Chains A and B, each alone.
Chain A
Amino acid sequence: MGSTSAQTNEGLGRRDLIKRSAAIGLISVPTMGFLSACASSDSGGNGKVEKGTKSDKNPLGVNESAPLDFVLFDGGFGQQYAKDAIKVYETNYPKATVKFTPTQKITTTLQPRFNGGTPPDLIDNSGAEQMDMGVLVGQKQLADLTPLLDAPSIDDPSKKVRDTLRPGIVEMGQFDGEQCWILNYAYTVYGVWYSQKLLDSLDAKYPETWDEMLAVCEKAKKKGIAAWTYAGKHPYYVPFSLYPMIGKVGGREVLDAIDNLEPKAWEHPAVKACFEAYYELVQKGYILKGTPGLDHIQSQTAWTEGKALFIPNGSWVENEAAKTMPADFGLAVSGPTGLDASDKMPFGTIWAAGGEPFIVPAKAKNAEGGMEQLRIMLSEASSKNFTQSVKSLTALNGGTDGIELSPGLKSGVAALEKAGQNVVNPRLQDWYVALQKEKIGVAGIGEMMAGRATPAETIKKIQKFADEAAKDSSIKHYKH
């Protein structure tokens, strides 16, 4: 590789016009790639700030005067919560300055920095341009967050941070082995979202079996309301209620087999039954007309306007749709409706999982600072601040005492309580993004929900996608 680039430079150098600039700027580019490729065994220690001394107040040993470089995805949760947490950091370490960069273009902004070995110290890796976690882990670009998990919690120094987190948060950060690479800061409840007011006006309650579901749909139809809508342009929102339904009907193992890309996983009878149930909604005309052409905002707006009753979504919808939601909407969420009494899991089974993944790069100059900033964010005060301002739960277990919850949040907490141990967490969407969203979501479920493919065709198509992904050596594979 080194010789290739040398030759290229020589070739260019002969054209005397560019010789001088080439000498300054260009040669170093591939050479640098070459050097760093060779030097990767050198533990990448160059340029790291010296560790500070550990103390009770500073259990991670943060260098008190080292600058902190924090890149945040500026999306649905905004940036204020991070700014507030940074203020705390700067108060605790008055000699440190925090460079804060909110952006929506995570990959475009950070790709060159990862390549150059100068990534920031803390990243909220989220949004449409989220960097592929599997690749980052596989390429050893991330720091193990175990020191953070084992550090004492800010609110109760006798407890470790890991013991203050909601169930599933640590597991979601693990890929293979004990190290934890990701900390999901937000906690999302997925399910069927509806307006309690609209449901009451139909003189109905949330259906527990599919027969009841069809009855409610029919009632709504008679009143000129569509029972369902969804983000037609992003049909991978449908799984937010469809996957937990599959889990409820067939048990956790079915979802695990799907995540493991096992052969014939999608041909399980529970999957078939649930697909057919959803297809029945399509065939009986219970889905809002035009839905396949609506994006998430458009479908949510039709739903807040009362044109449709149910929408599969995540708990961020309360914040995202706040602008069009009437004050007396009575936002509520429920676990998915099942088929009948023979379902493997009880009604109330729900999908809940971490979201908004924070990472600390392996080559961060001030990794301790990045983790300390996370530790601050996981304090009760910061967590409450987040919950109140963006109407979402955090990874911190509890942390809602004494603050007034918005209707959707209250309903989400109640749904979690009702679910108890029956929380499922399908992993396809963080393990195999392209498979889940583009292939299963758009090309599979999307076509079925638009009425252009039957459940049998869809299952066959999806199984083929899954088999291809299982065989694809350019994708890293994970198992439960």
Chain B
Amino acid sequence: MQHGKYRFIVGFLAAPLALYALFVIWPFIQSIYYSFTDWTGLSPEFGMIGFGNYSRMLDDEIFWKSLQHSLTFAVVLPLVTVGLALFFAFMLNVGGRRRKGAAVAGVRGSSFYKIVYFFPQVLSIAIVALLFQFAYNPNSGAINSVLKGVGLGSVQPDWLGDPDLALICVMVVLVWSTVGFFVVLFSAGMASIPRDFYEAALLDGANRFTTFFRITLPLLWDTVQSGWIYMGILALGAESFAVVQIMTVGPSGGGPDYSTIVLPLYVYQKAFRDGQAAYATTIGVALLLVTLAFAAVVMKLGRRERLEF
């Protein structure tokens, strides 16, 4: 039986792991290797320079700025997105009025909401960023038009052109585009919580909020934690890159005055604009470490007993 178990494990892991090692791990190992060279990315010739790129990075003011913004993203975005999504999912699945003897019910039209909330997810993030550029246009954009419409003609911020607002503008777009994903994710989790749990709680006289914190959240904890990590990784990685690059001020985003630069964008700029691919990889390694640290912290903080039911 032990033998059978290991054969099974190897058999099941072999193909996925091989594919993954070949197309993902191996290229990444190679690119980490590049971080110790002076490779420009534009010619095959390069030499080893040891930790030169790393010491340069520690003195790089813009690197620290990018790190600071990326960390802000990693803390704020999951908090807002997951919080909002939990609220919506709870309302949709358990928040409705009781009907026909069912202990709990979703609000009316909950499946409609579930479809609608998911809409932003079907758009690629590049397109979302383009759409919001129109909304943020200070001159004739949606937001300032609405402000004018409700008599706030004197309040006409420059949005993406204002260093104090630009980062917030970017975060709002990311929240907008990802909440739906988590609503669906959490809904799936909530629907698999047995109904009699709620019935028992309601018999005890618990209200909806107690039910949420005593039953829903603990039983959903694994999923919430996964969602938290996933959002953090999105915020540190590809999603923030696309939004910042497309929407913000500057030749390839990050402005005004570096107020929105994030690590993945800085990687991109160094590799694809400045012909410093090796240095870009170095920043990429830093990004990798930050992301792994983030995941480790969340898992550590979120460690719970596994709940069986």
A38 to chain B, nearest CB (A): 9
- The answer to whether A437 touches B251, judged by C-beta atoms less than 8 angstroms apart, is yes
Closest residue of chain B to A453 (Cβ to Cβ) is B257
Closest 8 CB pairs of A and B: A290-B138, A293-B161, A292-B161, A135-B275, A132-B275, A293-B138, A139-B43, A293-B158
Looking at the complex, which of A112-120, A185-193, A248-256, A374-382 is the stretch in contact with chain B?
A112-120
A268 adjacent to chain B (CB < 8 Å): no
- Kindly name the residue among A4, A129, A294 whose own CB sees the greatest number of chain B CB atoms within 10 A: A294
Q: Does A431 contact B (CB under 8 A)?
A: no
Q: Answer yes or no: A418 CB below 8 A from chain B CBs.
A: no
Point out the residues of chain B lying under 8 angstroms from A140, CB to CB. Answer: 43
Residue of B whose beta carbon sits closest to that of A35: B44
A115–B43 touching, CB < 8 Å: yes
12 contacts between A and B (CB under 8 A): A18-B18, A26-B22, A37-B45, A115-B44, A236-B251, A290-B156, A292-B256, A293-B138, A298-B139, A442-B255, A443-B258, A474-B56
Contact (A295, B133) CB under 8 Å given A447-B256, A474-B279 = yes
Q: Does A233 sit at the interface, judged by CB under 8 A?
A: yes
A209 within 8 A of B: no
Contacting A at CB under 8 A, from B272-305, are: 272-277, 279
Residues of B within 8 A of A (CB): 10, 14, 17-18, 21-22, 26, 29-30, 33, 40-46, 48, 56, 133, 136-140, 144, 156-163, 248-252, 254-258, 269, 272-277, 279
Residues in B neighbouring A302, C-beta threshold 8 A:
139-140
Most chain-B CB neighbours within 10 Å: which of A117, A302, A442? A442
Residues in chain A near residue B33, CB distance under 8 A: 4, 30
Residue contact B161 to A233, C-beta cutoff 8 Å: yes
Q: Identify the interface centre among A140, A288, A474: most chain B CB within 10 Å of its CB.
A: A474
A474 surroundings in chain B (CB, below 8 A)? 56, 276, 279
Interface mask (A19-35 → B, CB under 8 Å = 1, otherwise 0): 00110011001101100
Whether A234 pairs with B251 at a CB distance below 8 angstroms is yes
Query: What's the minimum C-beta distance from A393 to chain B, rounded to whole angstroms?
Result: 25
| Residue with the greatest number of chain B CB neighbours at <10 A, chosen from A135, A140, A289 | A135
Min distance, Cβ A478 to any Cβ of chain B, angstroms: 15
**Known contacts A295-B133, A438-B251, A442-B257; is-contact A12 B139 (Cβ 8 Å):** no
What is the distance, in angstroms, from A431's C-beta to the closest C-beta of chain B? Answer: 13
Q: Is B272 a contact partner of A108 (Cβ separation < 8 A)?
A: yes
B160 touches A290 (CB 8 A): no
Q: Does any Cβ of B come within 8 Å of A433's Cβ? A: yes
Cα–Cα distance between A233 and B251 once the two chains are bound (Å): 8
Q: B43 and A442: CB pair below 8 A?
A: no
| In the bound complex, CA of A61 to CA of B30 (Å) | 41
User: Distance in Å from the Cβ of A6 to the closest Cβ of chain B?
Assistant: 13
Q: List A residues at the B interface (Cβ < 8 Å).
A: 1, 4, 8, 12, 15, 17-18, 21-22, 25-26, 29-30, 32-33, 36-37, 40, 107-108, 111, 114-117, 128-132, 134-136, 139-141, 232-236, 288-295, 298, 302, 307, 433-434, 437-438, 441-443, 446-447, 450, 452, 474
A-B interface pairs (CB < 8 A), number: 170
Partner of B156, one of A21, A116, A289: A289
- A128-B161 contact, Cβ under 8 Å, with A29-B30, A111-B42, A293-B136: no
Asked whether, in the complex, the Cβ of B139 is within 8 Å of the Cβ of A290, the reply is: yes
Q: Please give, as numbers and ranges, the residues of chain A lying within 8 Å of B144 by CB-CB distance.
A: 290
**Hey, which chain A residues are within 8 Å of B21, CB to CB?**
12, 15, 17-18
CA distance A291 to B249 in the complex (A): 12
Q: Are B41's CB and A115's CB within 8 A?
A: yes
- Chain A nearest CB from B219 CB (Å) reads 37
Residues of A within 8 Å of B273, CB to CB, are 107, 129-130, 132, 433-434
Kindly identify which residue among A26, A234, A298 contacts B26, using a CB–CB cutoff of 8 Å.
Answer: A26
Contact check, A116 vs B44: say whether CB atoms are below 8 A apart.
Answer: yes
CB atoms of A293 and B251 under 8 A apart: no
Indicate if the CB atoms of A33 and B44 lie closer than 8 Å: yes
Q: Is the CB of B251 within 8 A of A128?
A: yes
CA distance A433 to B273 in the complex (A): 9
A437-B251, A443-B257, A450-B158 are known contacts. Are A12 and B26 too (CB-CB below 8 A)? Answer: yes
Complex contacts, A288 vs chain B, CB 8 Å: 139
Q: A233-B160, A293-B160 are in contact. Are A36 and B44 (CB under 8 A)?
A: yes
Write the nearest CB–CB distance from B134 to chain A, whole angstroms.
9
- Per a CB cutoff under 8 Å, which of A25, A114, A233 touches B22? A25
> A115-B44, A293-B138 given as contacts; is B279 within 8 A of A30 (CB)?
no
A128-B251, A136-B42, A450-B256 known, 18 other contacts, Cβ within 8 Å:
A1-B48, A18-B18, A30-B33, A37-B45, A37-B46, A111-B277, A135-B275, A139-B42, A140-B43, A141-B43, A232-B158, A289-B156, A293-B139, A293-B161, A437-B250, A438-B251, A442-B250, A442-B257
Task: Compute how far the CA of A227 lies from the CA of B40 in the bound complex, rounded to whole angstroms.
Answer: 44
Taking CB as reference atom, which chain A residue is nearest B27?
A29
Closest to A233 in B: B249
A442–B272 touching, CB < 8 Å = no
A450 touches B161 (CB 8 A): yes
Instruction: Give every chain A residue within 8 A of B269 (Cβ-Cβ).
Output: 434
A130 (CB) vs chain B CBs: closest residue: B273
Nearest CB to that of A135 among chain B residues? B275
A114 touches B42 (CB 8 A): yes
Chain A residues in 8 Å Cβ range of B139: 288-291, 293-294, 298, 302, 307
Q: CB distance A129 to B258 under 8 Å?
A: no
> In the complex, which of the residues A26, A135, A438 contacts B250, with contact meaning CB atoms closer than 8 Å?
A438
**A295 contacts across to B, CB distance below 8 A:** 133
* CB contact under 8 A between A17 and B162, given known A29-B30, A298-B139, A302-B139: no
* Residues of chain A with a CB closer than 8 A to B138's CB: 289-294
Q: How many angstroms from the CA of A168 to the CA of B183 in the assembled complex?
A: 60
Within 8 Å by CB of A128, from B18, B40, B252, lies: B252
Of all chain A residues, which has the CB nearest B14?
Answer: A17
Contact B255 A18 (CB under 8 A): no
Q: Which residue of B lies closest to A134 (CB)?
A: B275
With CB as the reference atom, state the residue of chain B lying closest to A110: B42
Contacts of B274 in A (CB 8 A): 132, 433-434
Q: Contacts of A236 on B, CB cut-off 8 Å?
A: 251
Closest CB in chain A relative to B129 CB, distance in Å: 12
Are A135 and B18 in contact, with the CB atoms below 8 A? no
Identify the closest chain A residue to B166 (Cβ).
Answer: A293
Q: Give the distance in Å from the alpha carbon of A232 to the alpha carbon of B160 in the complex.
A: 10
| CB pair B22 A21 closer than 8 Å | yes
Contact A293-B162, Cβ < 8 Å, known A26-B26, A115-B41: yes
Nearest Cβ on chain A to B201's Cβ, whole angstroms: 49
The docked-state distance in angstroms from the alpha carbon of A434 to that of B276 is 12
Nearest B residue to A24, CB-CB: B22
Query: In this complex, what residue of A is CB-closest to B139?
Result: A290
Q: How many whole Å from B156's CB to the nearest CB in chain A?
A: 6
CB of A4 to closest CB in B, whole Å:
7
Question: How far apart are the CA atoms of A132 and B274 in the complex, in Å?
Answer: 6
Q: Please pick, from B44, B56, B159, B258, the residue contacting A293 in the complex, using a CB distance under 8 A.
A: B159
Contact A135 B40 (CB under 8 A): yes
Are B257 and A447 closer than 8 Å at their CB atoms?
Answer: yes
Whether A294 and B137, one on each chain, are in contact in the complex, defined by CB atoms closer than 8 angstroms, is: yes
Q: In the complex the two chains form, what is the Cα distance from A440 to B142 in whole Å?
A: 31
